[in-house]
Amino acid sequence: MRAATYNRPAATERGIAQGWNTASSPVGDTLVICEVKTRRHGAYEHPMAAVTPRKAERLRRLADCWLDRSGTPAPAGGVRIDLVGVVLPRRGAPVLTHARGVA
C-alpha cells in the first residue's frame, strides 16, 4: 500500500493532465474521475467496498469543483465516476477490478 500512497500526488496530476482537452485535439466528450483503492489480500475489506455513497457524492462534487475552477465547460458526455480496486496478493500479480459509472 505504500506504493499507492507514495504515487498518489503524481497519479492525480497525470489523471487531470490526461483528461485535459484543447480545441485542436479533443481527448473525448466525457470527464472521468477515477478513484483507485488498494488493499493487501485478506488484510481488510475489498477495496471496492471503501467507496460508499457518501464518498461517491464527494467525488461528483470534486468533479464539479474542478470544472468550475479550471474554467472548463461541462463536457457534452457529462461526468463519470469510476472506481479501480487493486488487491495485492501474497504472491503473484495484483488483481484489478474496474467499475465504470459508480456515481
Q: Which set of grid coordinates corresponds to residue 29? A: 466528450
| Residue 34 in domain | yes
> Per the domain annotation, does 49 fall within a domain?
yes
Q: Does 63 fall in a domain?
A: yes
Q: Tell me, yes or no, whether 92 lies in a domain.
A: yes
Angle at 57 between CA 19 and CA 32, to 5 degrees: 15
Residue 64 lies in a domain: yes
Number of domains in the chain: 1
Domain extent, residue 85, equals 2-18+30-99
Report whether pLDDT(14) > 80: no
Measure the CA–CA gap between 75 and 79, rounded to whole angstroms: 7
> Which letter does DSSP use for residue 19 in this model?
T
**How much is the average pLDDT of 49-73?**
88
Whether 45 is covered by a domain: the verdict is yes
pTM of the predicted protein model: 0.67
Within a domain: residue 25? no
Alpha-carbon gap, residue 7 to 11, rounded angstroms: 6
